[in-house]
Amino acid sequence: MKYTSEEIAKMLNGTIEGDTCKIVSSVAKIEEGKEGDLCFLSNSKYTPHLYTTKASVVIVNKNLILEKKVDCTLIRVKDAYIAFSKLLELYNKMTFPNTGISEKSDISNSAKIGENCYIGPFVFIGENVIIGDNTFVFPHSFIGNNVSIGSRTTIFSGVKIHNSCIIGNDNIIHSGVIIGADGFGFAPNIEGNYNKIQQIGNVVTKEFVEIGANTTIDRATLGSTLIKKGAKLDNQIQIGHNVVVGENTVIAGLVGIAGSTKIGDNCMIGGSSGIAGHLTVGNNVRVAGHTGVGSNVKDGETIQGPYAFSQKEFLRSYIIFKRLPKMYDTLRKIEKSLLQ
């Protein structure tokens, strides 16, 4: 990547202060910037580095007031963080392979592949698969029969998408993800064994969904397990059968959501939390890390604790819990004085 400061400013609709012909060829953190680097400053905590950085170009917010002269060229934009993220996206796409279908892939004759797609070596694509335009499927991925994948979606190496699942436009699915494996459905019989309940539904992901590495999303028993538009799932998450994850909900790593639970829109679920099955979690809910959710949660609530309840009540209880040893000693002294 080699761009001038003027070219970058045009991409971001920014204004330049300094050398319009400054050339950058790499990106870096502002505190580590060197000649030829492009950096950004959005957090005021890092402002002192602006006056010492060796970076060639720094993207800053429009309203930044300089306290002294800087050596680098500045590009002023409305939001430096968002602008820099756009450049990183562009840079990342430049590292992708060229479009085309590898001769080492195994693609059914009935599959339909859109224009400008990349299908890597050792990819398997089953019967009646539909893949939209400008989609990338990296090596060693498995796409089962009757799967539909939208346009501009990226499927990294080693992803498994089982039969009849539907993947939306502009999805990013990271390595090791398994979509559409059987849900955990078993019924006890009179002999004390378990009979498997066949899972014949699918998984549907809507637009702009991102799924982290080694996350698993089980197919529905009937109907669909649904991940709605804009949802972001971290690495190593387990989504059970018939779960619904709402729009723009973000879920951190190691979360487990049991079958048939409905998660609302714009929720934030902290890492290592567990949510029991057949629950309803409302919109705009905040679940702190390591929380166990065993009952329905109303819109807008913030919950915390191994047996989750109101965060305020939990914090009050936790203060008392920390004082229990001292309270116990006091109680023993009172008890002893009464017995004398």
The catalytic residue among 162, 174, 241, 278 is: 241
Residue 316 lies in a domain: no
Tokens of 26: 């790499």
For the domain that residue 205 is a member of, what is the CATH number?
Answer: 2.160.10.10
Residue 340 lies in a domain: no
Residue 138 lies in a domain: no
Residue 131 lies in a domain: no
User: Do residues 76 and 165 share a domain?
Assistant: no
Tokens of 294: 């065993």
Residue 102 lies in a domain: no
Span 303-314, pLDDT tens digits: 998 877 788 888
Residue-level pLDDT at 1: 67
Residue-level pLDDT at 284: 98
User: Do residues 184 and 49 share a domain?
Assistant: no
Residues of the chain with pLDDT under 50: none
CA 151 – CA 203 distance, rounded (Å): 17
Instruction: Give the range of the structural domain holding residue 36, as residue numbers without chain letter.
Output: 3-94
Q: How many CB atoms lie within 10 A of CB 160?
A: 18
User: Do residues 173 and 44 share a domain?
Assistant: no
Tokens of 208: 């702009």
Span 213-255, pLDDT tens digits: 999 999 999 999 999 999 999 999 999 999 999 999 999 999 9
User: Do residues 295 and 178 share a domain?
Assistant: yes
The number of domains in the chain is 2
For the whole model, what pTM was predicted? 0.86
**Short-list 150, 199, 146, 201, CA closest to 173:** 150
Residue 78 lies in a domain: yes
Active site residue 140: no
User: Do residues 176 and 50 share a domain?
Assistant: no
Give strand pairing partners of 142.
Answer: 124, 160
State whether the Cα torsion 85-88-90-92 is positive or negative. Answer: negative
